[in-house]
Amino acid sequence: MRYFTEDHEWVDVDGDIGTVGITDYAQGQLGDIVFVDVPEEGKTVTKGDETAVVESVKAASDVYTPVSGRVIEGNAELADNPGLVNEDADGEGWFFKLTLSDPSELEGLMDEAKYEAFVAKL
């Protein structure tokens, strides 16, 4: 099941493991991505924390974690190939994985249909 934030992050949840990325809409708004900074394994993050950085030619943007937990992996591919986020924001361009500490936080997020409706109004 995939959940979305109003800041255009997504979290894909499988058991208590969440995979976090930014949406295709977000990568399109950012334009050519030239740098991504992902968190290190073991870092504890709280919902809403600035957990990753994504930089386009134009500007730097913070990525806020949609849920709290402990980071188990950052996407190492993005260091050498940040453009992966432009090519496949919903898949290969994921940012980090974490173990959810409070799955109830997911209740406040949007599902795909709601997110699409949200983006359509922007």
Partner 1 sequence: MSDEAETEIELQTLPLDAWHRARGGRMVPFAGYHMPVQYEGIMAEHLWVRESAGLFDVSHMGQLLLSGPDLDVELEKLIPADVKGVKLHGQKYSLLLADNGGILDDLMFTRWEDGIYMVVNGAVKYDDIAHLRDHLPDEITLNHMDDQALLALQGPKAADALGRLVPGVAELVFMTGGRFDWNGVPLWISRSGYTGEDGFEISVPGDKAEALADALCAQPEVKPIGLGARDSLRLEADLPLYGHDLDPETTPLMAALGFAVASKRRREEANFPGAERVLLEREQGPVVKRVGLLVEGRQPVREGAAVLDAEGSEVGKVTSGGFAPTLGVPIAMAYVPAAMAEVGTKIQLNQRGKVHEATVTAMPFVPHRYVRGSK
DSSP 32-86: SEEEEE-PPTT-EE-TT-EEEEEEESS-EEEEE-SS-EEEEEE-THHHH-TTHHH
Q: Candidates 6, 32, 41, 111: give the one binding partner 1 (CB under 8 A).
A: 32
Q: Does residue 119 bind partner 1 (CB under 8 A)? A: no
Q: Which stretch binds partner 1 (CB under 8 A): 6-14, 18-26, 56-64, 89-97?
A: 56-64
Which helix (H) or strand (E) segment holds residue 96: the answer is: strand 96-100
Candidate residues 16, 41, 46, 79; the one interacting with partner 1 per rule CB under 8 A? 79
Piece of the chain touching partner 1 by CB under 8 A; list 41-49, 53-61, 94-102, 112-120: 53-61
Q: Minimum CB separation from partner 1 for residue 20, in Å? A: 20
